[in-house]
């Protein structure tokens, strides 16, 4: 990383730390939501952008993490902080299960089957009133005292998001991350030089599931609710668009995309019920005119490598 | 017949027939999906939306023609054509420019269309439940195996399925158009090299596939309440069917639809609340043994 990027990141973090001091409560909430969606989109990018795996129903892992955390908080008497670890672990385990079922399939089969299995999970959550609260979801989740105020929820979200982003950055830069990108670009050759392709992909799925679960548990902290729509397909699309809009092959692209989409959704929803229509049109425009996303476009314009020099030529 | 009746309980038998009528709808829609998948290699996520548009259009057409019995037959002709027209506009207006691009982009474009179509349906028809009356000659029940009542309309569906299957078989195997399309599925560059306009072939296949989605929507309309959200359920089911059967294989779609329809309807008997799980289990079992589907896929 160049000195400039470090300075830029440092300044950004300081601004984020100061937000609750001068922003009204609603905007603090909004920024928390943006952060956790950014984390969610980045975790998707880990498998989709860097791994080349067609993870089309990523929202399921987010939902499983949120429901795991919630059920742990409401149904058991175990120490509450444990719930914030159990939720993500549940998503990681679920990622493993989905991975084992789907990983042998070709790319498109994988994506299609994952959408279907994810919808099954949604249908079960939606109907199982006695356990998951059915389509009402669960409201007023008892959050540990130290996290219950909007400010502390914000700081918790910020710290966990930054820590997770840092870990994911390290993962992508690690030998494992390089191997994963190698598999994305040429699976056959990767296999030839002795990389266990399936193992790497499976691990990527589990890791992405884990971080999506972290995002889910953050939502529980920020919003104190869970509902079945968190596992619904439309949300997966929204996350996909965040990655696409920000830039697939850049690390911070999904975060940027999340900021744009969440902010847009908040303001568009205030005026109209037709958010999906707006989202669809945005998606079409991005696909037609900005296929590498905003950061991808910036990178192309300033070839000097804005964030990730080695991913050029994609 | 008495022997059959004594071995299999009436409830099971009636569920089998319910499952078979559902199979017909699923097959008609999934065959369109698999056709597009086989030739254009797009998993058309907007397929479910087109099915929904077909059902809603059927509602409007039946209503405009006075709500009488003739309305349904007019809708059966017109509604799938309207759906086909919409798909033609989408294909010529957008998809055709992206065939050279990465696969993911095409897929995301169909996602985008499903979002847009979903909201447009909400905009045009509103969020209320709609119902389409069963045409006059198919109202009522027929006694089946020892007096078990079976809706006459479902019997009509059972006949419609094989008709569509045979027509599709003839179209893809016996016509020049079908042969070109199958060749383009295997090697589109070569087909282009011998002087065939591949883009036009793609457009035709796309429109035929979408026509089938619309047809499924019209046929299902009298049996269910037409509502927003029916697109989502169906596209998931159609995906599973196509995955089970083998991508791009029309007979695979038939086989997959059969498995799906029967496990679904019989699963409800076994576990009423979560009967929905059984078709998924079937898919997982099939894929454990045959990761590329039951029948040979085109790619």
pLDDT, tens only, B73-117 = 888 899 999 999 999 999 898 888 888 777 788 888 998 999 899
Residue A311 domain-assigned (yes or no): no
When scoring A112, A185, A236 by the number of chain B Cβ atoms within 10 A, the one with the most, hence best to mutate, is A112
- What are the boundaries of each domain within chain B? 24-230
Q: Which domain holds residue A112?
A: 23-232
Residue A275 domain-assigned (yes or no): no
CB–CB of A277 and B113 under 8 A?
Answer: no
pLDDT in tens, B176-225: 888 888 888 888 888 888 888 888 888 999 999 999 999 999 998 888 88
Chain A: give the shortest CA distance to residue B74, in Å. 30
d(CA A198, CA A78): 36
Check if the beta carbon of residue A30 is closer than 8 Å to that of residue A263.
Answer: yes
Check if the beta carbon of residue B25 is closer than 8 Å to that of residue B233.
Answer: no
DSSP letter at A307? S
When scoring B38, B116, B246 by the number of chain A Cβ atoms within 10 A, the one with the most, hence best to mutate, is B116
List of E strands, A120-245: none
Q: Which two tokens stand for residue B209?
A: 């596939």
Beta-bridge partner residues of B226: B130
Nearest by CB to residue B108, choosing from A101, A112, A240, is A240
Q: Which two tokens stand for residue B268?
A: 């409800």
CB–CB of A284 and B116 under 8 A?
Answer: yes
Residue in chain A closest to B46 (alpha carbons) equals: A280
Burial status of residue A103 (CB atoms within 10 A of its CB: 0-12, 13-18, 19 or more)? middle
Which positions in chain B have a beta carbon within 8 angstroms of at least one beta carbon in chain A?
41, 43, 94, 97-98, 101, 103-105, 107-109, 111-116, 118-120, 122-123, 232, 236, 239-240, 242-243, 247, 273-274, 276-277, 280, 283-284, 287-288, 291-292
Chain B residues with beta carbon closer than 8 angstroms to that of A244: 108
Residue A301 domain-assigned (yes or no): no
CA angle B32, B33, B35 (to 5 degrees): 65
d(CA A53, CA A63): 20
Check if the beta carbon of residue A58 is closer than 8 Å to that of residue A43.
Answer: yes
DSSP letter at A196? -
Q: Which two tokens stand for residue B155?
A: 């019997």
Nearest by CB to residue B236, choosing from A119, A244, A283, is A119
Q: A164-173, A247-256, B132-141, B227-236 — which is least confidently predicted?
A: B132-141
Chain A: give the shortest CA distance to residue B21, in Å. 22
How confident is residue A10, by pLDDT bands cut at 50, 70 and 90?
confident
Check if the beta carbon of residue A189 is closer than 8 Å to that of residue A70.
Answer: no
List of E strands, B95-154: 141-144, 148-151
pLDDT at A306: 47
What sign results for the dihedral spanned by CA atoms A33, A34, A39, A41? positive
b/e map B129-156, b = 16+ CB within 10 Å = ebebbbbeebeeeeeeeeeeebbebbbb
d(CA B35, CA B201): 12
pLDDT in tens, A165-216: 999 999 999 999 999 999 888 888 988 888 888 899 999 999 999 999 999 9
Q: How many domains, in total, are found in chain A?
A: 1
Q: Which two tokens stand for residue B211?
A: 């026509």
CB–CB of A116 and B114 under 8 A?
Answer: no
């Amino acid at each position: 990383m160049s000195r400039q990027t470090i300075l830029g990141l440092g300044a950004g973090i300081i601004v984020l730390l100061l937000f609750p001091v001068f922003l009204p409560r609603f905007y603090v909430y909004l920024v928390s939501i943006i952060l956790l969606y950014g984390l969610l989109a980045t975790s998707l990018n880990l498998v989709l952008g860097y791994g080349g795996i067609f993870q089309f129903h990523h929202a399921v892992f987010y939902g499983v993490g949120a429901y795991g955390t919630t059920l742990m908080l409401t149904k058991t008497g175990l120490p509450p902080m444990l719930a914030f670890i159990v939720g993500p672990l549940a998503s990681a385990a679920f990622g493993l299960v989905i991975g084992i079922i789907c990983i042998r399939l070709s790319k498109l089969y994988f994506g299609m089957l994952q959408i279907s299995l994810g919808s099954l999970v949604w249908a079960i959550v939606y109907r199982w009133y006695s356990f998951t609260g059915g389509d009402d979801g669960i409201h007023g989740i008892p959050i540990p005292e130290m996290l219950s105020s909007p400010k502390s929820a914000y700081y918790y979200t910020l710290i966990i998001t930054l820590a997770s982003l840092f870990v994911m950055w390290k993962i992508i830069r690690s030998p494992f991350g390089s191997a994963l990108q190698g598999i994305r670009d040429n699976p056959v050759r990767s296999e030839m030089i002795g990389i266990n392709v399936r193992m790497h992909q499976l691990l990527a799925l589990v890791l992405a599931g884990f971080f999506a679960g972290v995002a889910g548990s953050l939502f529980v902290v920020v919003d104190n609710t869970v509902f079945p729509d968190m596992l619904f397909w439309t949300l997966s699309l929204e996350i996909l668009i965040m990655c696409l809009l920000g830039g697939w092959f850049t690390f911070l692209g999904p975060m940027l995309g999340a900021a744009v989409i969440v902010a847009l959704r908040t303001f568009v929803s205030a005026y109209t019920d037709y958010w999906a229509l707006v989202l669809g049109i945005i998606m079409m425009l991005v696909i037609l005119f900005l296929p590498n996303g905003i950061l991808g476009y910036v990178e192309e314009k300033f070839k000097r490598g804005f964030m990730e020099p080695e991913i050029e030529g994609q | 017949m008495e022997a059959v009746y004594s071995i299999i309980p009436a409830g099971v038998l009636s569920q089998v027939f319910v499952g078979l009528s559902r199979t017909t709808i699923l097959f008609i829609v999934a065959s369109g999906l698999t056709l597009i998948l086989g030739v254009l290699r797009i998993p058309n996520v907007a397929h479910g939306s087109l099915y929904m548009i077909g059902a809603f259009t059927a509602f409007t057409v039946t209503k405009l023609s006075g709500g009488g019995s003739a309305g349904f037959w007019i809708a059966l002709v017109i509604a799938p054509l309207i759906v086909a027209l919409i798909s033609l506009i989408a294909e010529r207006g957008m998809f055709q420019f992206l065939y050279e691009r990465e696969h993911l982009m095409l897929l995301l474009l169909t996602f985008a269309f499903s979002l847009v179509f979903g909201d447009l349906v909400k905009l045009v028809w509103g969020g209320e439940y709609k119902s389409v009356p069963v045409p006059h000659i198919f109202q009522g029940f027929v006694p089946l195996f020892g007096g078990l009542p079976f809706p006459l309309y479902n019997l009509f569906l059972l006949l419609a399925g094989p008709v569509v299957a045979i027509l599709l078989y003839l179209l893809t195997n016996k016509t020049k158009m079908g042969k070109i399309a199958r060749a383009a599925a295997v090697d589109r560059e070569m087909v282009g090299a011998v002087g065939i306009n591949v883009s036009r072939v793609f457009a035709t296949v796309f429109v035929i596939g979408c026509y089938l989605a619309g047809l499924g929507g019209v046929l299902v309309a009298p049996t269910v309440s037409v509502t927003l959200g029916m697109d989502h359920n169906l596209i998931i089911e159609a995906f599973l069917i196509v995955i089970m059967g083998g991508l791009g294989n029309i007979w695979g779609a038939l086989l997959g639809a059969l498995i799906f329809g029967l496990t679904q309807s019989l699963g409800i008997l076994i576990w009423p609340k979560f009967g929905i799980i059984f078709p998924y289990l079937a898919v997982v079992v099939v894929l454990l043994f045959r990761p590329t589907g039951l029948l040979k896929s085109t790619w």
